[in-house]
Structure 1
Amino acid sequence: MSFMSSLNISGSGMTAQKFRLDIISQNIANAEVTRTEDGTPYRRQMTVLNSVNTIPTGSFRDALSSELSNQNAGVQVGAVVEDPSALVPVYDPSHPDANADGYVMYPNVSTAQEMVDAMGASRAYEANVTAFNATKAIALKALEIGK
């Protein structure tokens, strides 16, 4: 694995976690939205992260040589999907979006869960920054050997 590949892996991780934090903040901002543009309540969004490289099949030697020569390693956002969990019914017959029984369907967003996810994404971002800085420090020390 080359020096630049290590930086690319950390950089892709930081990019993916920043996107994840953006989706989490969008969920928190829309936690009380009962009617979107299509007339339905907002649904919680989740990010799906994928590995950039594919897992080779075959012998260990083939897998190792593939990984050592692979410059496209890291993580990427594969998709943003809606959470399929049920919406939250709240009895409020005076609300303009109440159904015939007086219930308003609120988004399936739990701010506590979103804060936990945000802390996890933030910690993952910090870990990628630490790995990036460590790789940079190792490269700088290697350059000092020639002095």
Structure 2
Amino acid sequence: MDLKTSLGISASGLRAQSLRMRVIAENLANQDSVSDTPGGDPYRRRVASFKAEIDRSTGGMGVKVKSIENDKSDFTKVYQPGHPAADKDGYVLKPNVNGLIETADMKAAQRSYEANLNAIEAAKSLTMRTIDLLK
């Protein structure tokens, strides 16, 4: 595998994990966001999914965003009759965002990002060693 191909593969991984971290950060920022209207739906968690795709210019595999979809899991109900977003029964729907899960996902995305950075550094280092040997 040549340098351009390996850098392209790692760069696509960096872009994918960067997007994943942005989606997770949005989820964390909105984990307490409820509806503006009584009985309305609160913020719904979003999840990024990826797919492997061949880069036609290099022939290497890369990562592309397949979609960013809303999580279909149920909202939690909390009894708060005085809240402006409460329905007629006094319940407020809370977002389906679990901070613990989001934090774990963020850590996994950070580790994947770091692994791609390390792969780029390794490819760069091997290229520099090869150039040094040719001198």
Q: What is the TM-score when the length of structure 1 is the normalising length? A: 0.84
Q: What does residue 61 of structure 1 align with? A: none
Listed as ranges, the matches of 1:1-147 within 5 Å are 1-35=1-35, 40-53=41-54, 70-147=58-135
Distance (whole Å) between structure 2 residues aligned to residue 31 and residue 76 of structure 1? 27
- How far is 1:36 from its partner? 6.3
* Cα drift, residue 74 of structure 1: 1.0
- Structure 1 unaligned spans of 5+: 55-68
Same amino acid, percent of matched pairs: 38
**C-alpha distance after superposition, 1:79-125 (max 9, x if no partner):** 10011100011110001111111110010000111000000000000
SS in 2 for 1:74: strand
Point out 4+ residue stretches in structure 1 off by more than 6 angstroms.
none
- The alignment of Structure 1 onto Structure 2 pairs a total of residues equal to 132
Q: Is the 8 A contact 1:36 1:42 kept in 2?
A: no
How well do the aligned residues superpose, as a CA RMSD in angstroms?
A: 1.8
**Residue type of the partner of 1:40?**
D
**Alpha-carbon shift at residue 141 of structure 1 (Å):** 0.8
Q: Which has the higher strand share?
A: 2
Deviation of the 1:73 alpha carbon:
2.1
Cα distance in 1, alignment partners of residues 106 and 91 from structure 2: 30
